[in-house]
Structures are given as structure tokens and as C-alpha cells.
Amino acid sequence: MTSQLAALNQWVDEVARLTQPDRIHWCDGSDAEARALNALMVERGDLIALNEKTHPNCFLHRSSKSDVARVEHLTLVCTPEREDAGPNNHWMAPADARAKIDALFAGCMRGRTLYVVPYCMGPIDSPISRCGVEITDSPYVVANMRIMTRMGAAALARIEREGAFVKGLHSTGELDPERRFIMHFPQELTIKSYGSGYGGNALLGKKCHALRIASHQARSEGWLAEHMLIVGIQNPQGQTHYVAAAFPSACGKTNLAMLIPPEGHRQAGWKVWTVGDDICWMTPGADGRLWAINPEAGFFGVAPGTSNKTNPNALAMLGHDTIFTNVGVTADNQPWWEGLPDGVPVKDWQGRDYDPANGPAAHPNSRFTVSARQCPSYSPHTEDAQGVPISAIVFGGRRESLVPLVFEARDWTHGVLVGAAMASETTAAATGAVGVVRRDPMAMKPFCGYNYGDYFAHWLSFDKAGAKLPKVFHVNWFRKGADGKFLWPGFGDNLRVLEWMLQRVDGSAGAEESPIGNLPNAADLDLAGLGLQPQQVEELLRVDVEGWQREIGEIGAYLDSYGSHTPAALHRERQRIADALEGCRETA
Ligand code: SAT
Ligand code: MN
């Protein structure tokens, strides 16, 4: 046995001594194993088989009702120094954290099976990919990890070959919110999660490994681990540009990644290729460009609002081999959620008879888990070992007011400030109030595994001799007019905005300079067939100077909250914009 597998075996033994499982099962990722696990979960009532005719091999999982989202207040980064985790993370000293959580783990798997889940984040042969092993007592987690990662024998072989792997220990415990923690020990490449079975808390390859731990590794190794979708946009000339875009959870990343071009664009030959919908690992290539992989192998998407109108590609992939979590069901046992035009729910997400007085049939953060290969727009380049070259980076948030439809950063430093200044109204993807504006730099607020000030400095460090960095943009699909209605149609029509961005990359589209960045003139966007009123377009592309002066003031206070960790270059950049806004007001 190699030393790597010996190290893994030793860790499994240690964990088994602590948690006292009845059985240990090493997952190989095979179809037979998946079938057996599904059958076991159906028998135990953890899964409900859905309509075999309309949804072959699809299952519904109903979670505990107090376990439906990520729990940011119970998610900790345990670095030796509090400074290193930064004010953006909840922190606990590693020894205290370990003592606290190991006490919860003691004996917690009695009567249960301990599953050892080797997984690879990224294409199995990519040098950018990284492996991990999750130990869990939840067959639901195993089934989800099998879809979301390259799980099983091939990952184990890579671990044996290459050495280091991230250790993740998970137990659903009692599903008691009072006995719940998600802890990260970046120095030890270790994650410990207790008391939740929910996606981001329990599928440890996802946010815990591929973002919090990976961002830490990326900082010391010179790459980026980001909360971004990756989409390929093929123009009528047949060239494909790849765009990486960061939006907070439940702000439409999945929809943008799977966008269907508007009719006119489709006829002209535009095509959209999905590489990833949530996480992007980017590394500088020998040619100076940033090359990206999607570390995941599946989608863990928000179900409500997914329909043939909003995301036909997603709906098409959900017809078979999908796990649904916390959706409603129809009388003939089909999954159902708000936003589907057809079907009538008879049971809600808690399994009660559906009664609108109890709220929606599907939980607002109900999810589907599905293999990326089932997506009709799945890019064949997703598996490329070297990744795909990124032409543009897009930041965006959910902002009812102030922030225009799109603007372009003038250079990389400005782009980093635009990302660092991102703000968005909160959604149901995390517990807590919904609709409150909060700063969410690069959409990484819940996921950056170290001090945000140092993270901004890391981003700035990519601007060096020989680098051919992507252009940076900011978008806001969620602007509302005075009547409270969205000003922009969104969904497939977002391609019109991406088209302008890619023409900016090629140098073929016009723009108007403003203190906050370069905006398209109305004539620079293809708005044909949208029926937008000129005032609507004007409002979407307007820079409200006084509003931005307030915003830039708040951004200053926000950057100050990271103290000496905030790079001086960001303060200087912010001041440049503040001065330009002031100049605008004086000349107005
Ligand atoms: O955190 S999850 O990965 O479960 C979903 C999300 O918030 O993006
Ligand atoms: Mn996400």
C-alpha cells in the first residue's frame, strides 16, 4: 500500500474510533452502488421515488424543516490567527474549534454506516483539479456527491498517485440547529461539518472545499477559486468566447449559464455552451490568459422559478436521474414548484396536504441535483484538462435601484474595485432576512476562506508583466422602474448585454466613459424586438451621480473595515472615482 492510501486508511480508522459506526463502506462510484443506496434510502423513507414514467430514476428528499439552507453564523474559519480569517468570517481558535466539534462527533455514527467518499474536483486528468475525501454518515450526501463530483475509484487512484487530499468529516448528527457547525481548518486542509444535511453545509466538495479551502490554497499557489459560472458564447462567425460571472447565490447564475439566445440571435447563429453554473477555478496559462475549469460535475440549482420560459435547458435536464430536495408533488407524483405553468401540487415540501395558507408548495430554496452531462447546452470543452480561456469577467448583484444594466471597468485595478464593491439584496439561499442589501465582494462573502483585504490584494497581483487579463464588467439584471416592475426582461435577452461585452473585448463596440466605468450607448446594444421605451433604456443606462457619490462613500467605509489589509491601490482607485463624480457634479 502506498503511503497516501496508508494516510487515508489511518484517518478513516481514527474517525471510526471517534464516531463508532456499525459499518464502513468505501464508495466506488459505480451504478450498482448508486442503485443500492437509492433503494436503501427509499426503504428508510429518506427518498421518495417520483413518477417513473414522466421522471425515470428521479427522487424527492424532504429535509428536516429547520435544515433548508446554509447557516453562515455557524460556519467558521479556524486559522491560528483571527486576522487571517478576517472580519468577513466567523472565527474560532483551531484547538477550541476541534474540541467543540469532536465532542459532537463522539459516538455519533452508532447504528449508522460510515461512508468513505473519494472525489475529484475538476476533470480527473486536469492539473488544475484537486482531490478530497469526505467521510459521511448520510447516504443522501453520498448520492449528491456522486452527481456533483467525480466520485469513486478514479478519484481514489488519483489520490494514491498524487498525494495530498482535503479531508472532510461530516455527520448529520441530530439535525439540531443548536448542535450544528461547519468548520474549516485551512492549514490542515480539513473540514468538519456536523448537524446539517443541506447542500452547502454537507456536500463538502462544494462550498467548503472548492471555495473556502481552495481560495486559501489558490492564494498561496497563484490561482483563483471563485463563486462564478462559466459560459461559452459562440458568435455567428463560429468563435467562442468564455465568460466567468460572479453573482450571489440564487441570483440567476444557473439561468445565465444555460441561456437560450433570443430568436433573432438564434437565427443569426449565436450559440451558448454551459461549462459551469457555480464555481470556477482559474489559473494563468503560459500565454498569459486566465484558464478556467468547473471543479463540479453537476448542478445543485434552485428549483422555484425554473420553467420552460426562464430556463428550458434546465427543465429539459430535470426529466430523469435527478434528486429533488424540498419541492412539492402533484397527485401523480411529479415534482412541482412555483413558476411551473402546469401541474397542481397536492403535497408541499414538508409532505403536508398543500394549502396556500401554509406558504409555497416548494421551499424557496428547494433544489435539484443533476449531472452536468444531462444539460442540452453542456460544453464539450468542460472536460478539457487545460480548461477554457476566459475573455471577460462579470460581476453582478440584485439591485432594485442605482446600479445600471451594465458597465465596463477601465482596467484590472478598477475591475477589482468593482468586484470588491459588489452589493446585493439577500436571498433564501442562506437563513436570515431576505431582500436586505449587503456588500458581497465577488459574490464570495460566505465563501472566501481568508481575510477579504488579503483576497483583494491577491486579485490585484494578477496584473503583472505578460498577463493578458480578461476585461471586467458589472451587470444588474434586477433594476426596477418607479412602478416597481423590472426594467430589463432578463433571461435569454441577457445575451444582448454579453454581445456588447464581447464586442468590447474585440474592440468593435462603442461606449461612453463615465466616472463609474464605460457604459454602452443605447445604439451600442442590439435591442431589436424588445419593445423597450426610450426612457426605459435611458433609465437602465443612467449614472445617477448623487446616488453614486453616496455609494462610493459607503464603499470607502466598507474598504476601511478591512483596516491595513486593504491594498492602498484600491483606496486610490476609489478616490479617483470619487473625484471624477465630484467633477461631474461641478460641471453639471
Ligand atoms: O450553498 S449551496 O451550494 O448549497 C447553494 C448556494 O447557496 O449557492
Ligand atoms: Mn453558489
* 182 C-beta closer than 6 A to ligand 1: no
Cβ contacts of residue 324 below 8 Å, gap of 6+? 50, 58, 59, 60, 61, 303, 335, 366, 367, 368, 369
Q: For 55, left (φ over 0), alpha (ψ -120 to 50), or beta?
A: beta
SS3 label, residue 391 = strand
Cα 59 to middle of ligand 1, angstroms: 20
> What CA dihedral angle connects 496, 315, 481 and 541, to 10 degrees?
-20
Cβ–Cβ < 8 Å for 77, 91:
yes
pLDDT of residue 586: 80
> What CA dihedral angle connects 134, 136, 142 and 147, to 10 degrees?
-30
Q: Label residue 164 by pLDDT band (50, 70, 90).
A: confident
Q: Which ligand is nearest to the CA of 203?
A: 1
* 426 C-beta closer than 6 A to ligand 1: no
The C-alpha atoms of residue 68 and residue 72 are separated, in whole angstroms, by 13
Q: Whose CA is nearest to atom 4 of ligand 1?
A: 200
For ligand 1, pick from 144, 207, 369 the residue to mutate: most ligand atoms within 8 Å of CB. Answer: 207
pLDDT of residue 172: 98
Of 584 and 313, the one with more pLDDT: 313
Backbone angles phi, psi at 239, to 5 degrees: -85, 140
Residue 430 Cα: closest atom of ligand 1: 7
pLDDT tens-digit profile of 290-339? Answer: 999 999 999 999 999 999 999 999 999 999 999 999 999 999 999 999 99
For ligand 1, pick from 206, 208, 366, 367 the residue to mutate: most ligand atoms within 8 Å of CB. Answer: 206
Strand positions, DSSP E, 78-234: 90-91, 113-121, 130-136, 150-151, 166-171, 181-185, 190-194, 224-226, 228-234
- pLDDT higher than threshold 90 for residue 437: no
Backbone angles phi, psi at 199, to 5 degrees: -20, -85
**Beta carbons within 10 angstroms of residue 220's beta carbon:** 10
pLDDT tens-digit profile of 351-384? Answer: 999 999 999 999 999 999 999 999 999 999 999 9
Q: Label residue 1 by pLDDT band (50, 70, 90).
A: low
Mean pLDDT of the region 388-416: 97
Compute CA distances 571 → 221, 314, 358, 374, 417, whole Å. Answer: 26, 41, 49, 45, 9
- pLDDT higher than threshold 80 for residue 587: no
Q: Whose CA is nearest to atom 8 of ligand 1?
A: 249
pLDDT of residue 2: 62
Percent of the chain with pLDDT over 90: 95
- Cα Rg for the chain, rounded, in angstroms? 24
Instruction: Tell whether the torsion through CA atoms of 341, 347, 353 and 358 is positive or negative.
Output: negative
Cα 42 to middle of ligand 2, angstroms: 28
CA atoms within 13 A on the CB side of 579: 6
Predicted TM-score of the model (pTM): 0.97
Cα 227 to middle of ligand 2, angstroms: 6
Find the range with the poorest average confidence among 2-16, 166-180, 446-460. Answer: 2-16
Mean pLDDT of the region 542-564: 97
pLDDT tens-digit profile of 170-202? Answer: 999 999 999 999 999 999 999 999 999 999 999
Residue 206 Cα: closest atom of ligand 1: 3
Of 226, 228, 177, 212, whose CA–CA distance to 86 is shortest?
212
Domains of the chain: 3-47+67-222 (3.40.449.10), 226-296+382-587 (3.90.228.20), 298-372 (2.170.8.10)
Instruction: Tell whether the torsion through CA atoms of 78, 84, 88 and 91 is positive or negative.
Output: positive
Q: Label residue 431 by pLDDT band (50, 70, 90).
A: confident
Compute CA distances 59 → 131, 143, 373, 523, 549, whole Å. Answer: 28, 11, 18, 48, 51
pLDDT tens-digit profile of 66-117? Answer: 999 999 999 999 999 999 999 999 999 999 999 999 999 999 999 999 999 9
Query: Which residues are part of the catalytic machinery?
Result: 251
pLDDT tens-digit profile of 494-536? Answer: 999 999 999 999 999 999 999 999 999 999 999 999 999 999 9
Please give the mean pLDDT across all residues of the chain. 97
DSSP string, 340-372: -SS--EEE-TTSSBP-GGG--SS-TT-EEEEEG
pLDDT of residue 163: 85
- pLDDT higher than threshold 70 for residue 458: yes
Compute CA distances 532 → 355, 403, 480, 509, 527, whole Å. Answer: 38, 18, 14, 21, 8
* 447 C-beta closer than 6 A to ligand 1: no
Strands 59-61 and 323-325: parallel
Cα 204 to middle of ligand 2, angstroms: 13
CA atoms within 13 A on the CB side of 141: 32
pLDDT of residue 588: 67
The C-alpha atoms of residue 200 and residue 197 are separated, in whole angstroms, by 9
Cα 94 to middle of ligand 1, angstroms: 25
Q: Which ligand is nearest to the CA of 444?
A: 2
pLDDT tens-digit profile of 23-40? Answer: 999 999 999 999 999 999
Mean pLDDT of the region 226-255: 96
Burial 41-80 (b: 16+ CB within 10 A, else e): beeeebbbbbeeeebeebbbbbbbeebbbbbbebbbbbbe
Residue 207 Cα: closest atom of ligand 1: 3
Compute CA distances 145 → 142, 301, 412, whole Å. Answer: 5, 14, 36
pLDDT tens-digit profile of 206-221? Answer: 999 999 999 999 999 9
SS3 label, residue 201 = helix
* 167 C-beta closer than 6 A to ligand 1: no
Cβ–Cβ < 8 Å for 545, 588:
yes
